[in-house]
Amino acid sequence: MQAFNKRNDSIDFDRVVSLNNGVWWVGFQDKESGLRCNPYLIIEGDEAVLLDGGSRPDFPVVMMKILETGLDPHKISALIYDHYDPDLCGSIPNLEDMIENPELKLVTSGFSQMFIRHYGTRSQFFNIADMGYKFTFKTGRQLEFVTIPYCHNRGSYVVFDPQSKILFSGDMFGTYEKVWTLFYGFPDECSSAGSCVECQNDKSFCRLPGYLDFHRKLMPSSKAVHFALKKLKGIPFEMVASQHGSILDRSSVDVLIKELESCNDIGIDQVQPEE
């Protein structure tokens, strides 16, 4: 994991960052906000897709980053949204103006579509179920969609790219906190430390509580999270690129999965009856 953290050393966060296999991080460092948003761009052959494109105020920076890759925005063939919140969907009309592609696809679940159209979208919707839970580029490269109902919306799903081995997880495995690096790996000791209720290595600062708190507040119930974890564990990803927080390596996600599996106070499960 230390090697994974080292990746931050050579990065200028004000520039677009290449992950691998045509995948780019087109988000930005926002020192003021604890809730930073991470849109991702996948360029494949002469087309590209944008995942969770970002909010309206974030649009100028995200579009500048997209242009920095050298991509002609008209080549973006699809905008993919795992749910309908404004932090990822707010800029859809701005993106549509810049992309100016009459064939542009808005890819999401049927449930999210009902709400996303209220952003004033003009492009045609494509339902992930109708697409067989796959997006296929012209080259044949495929992205796989895996549903995680109620994590945190009814129609939520994650996107797995078998070529880059990146799992784009939306709000799952996200966090909000002001301490941030683009790449993050929990310290090596965490993977074998057992329960983290009390740190067995006497670490004074740990980012794990921030991650757990995010899930406790953003996700509706322990049942929903545990159901999602069962599906996500089996996916052969090597990295998780979530919509909030840092990009995590597989072993860090495994630490997080283990902790979340033993959390029974997520969402409604932690609400006490009013006295």
Which residues of the shown chain bind Fe ion in the complex (CB under 5 A)?
85, 87, 171, 243
- HSE of 273, CA atoms in CB hemisphere, 13 A: 1
- With respect to Fe ion, which residue has the nearer C-beta, 22 or 170? 170
Find the shortest distance in angstroms from Cβ 46 to Fe ion. Answer: 30
Find the shortest distance in angstroms from Cβ 53 to Fe ion. Answer: 12
- With respect to Fe ion, which residue has the nearer C-beta, 90 or 185? 90
Find the shortest distance in angstroms from Cβ 96 to Fe ion. Answer: 21
Contacts (Cβ under 8 Å, ≥6 apart) of 131: 107, 145
Find the shortest distance in angstroms from Cβ 25 to Fe ion. Answer: 16
- With respect to Fe ion, which residue has the nearer C-beta, 44 or 171? 171
- With respect to Fe ion, which residue has the nearer C-beta, 58 or 171? 171
φ and ψ of 272, to 5 deg: -90, 145
Find the shortest distance in angstroms from Cβ 158 to Fe ion. Answer: 13
- With respect to Fe ion, which residue has the nearer C-beta, 86 or 132? 86
- With respect to Fe ion, which residue has the nearer C-beta, 75 or 217? 217
Find the shortest distance in angstroms from Cβ 141 to Fe ion. Answer: 26
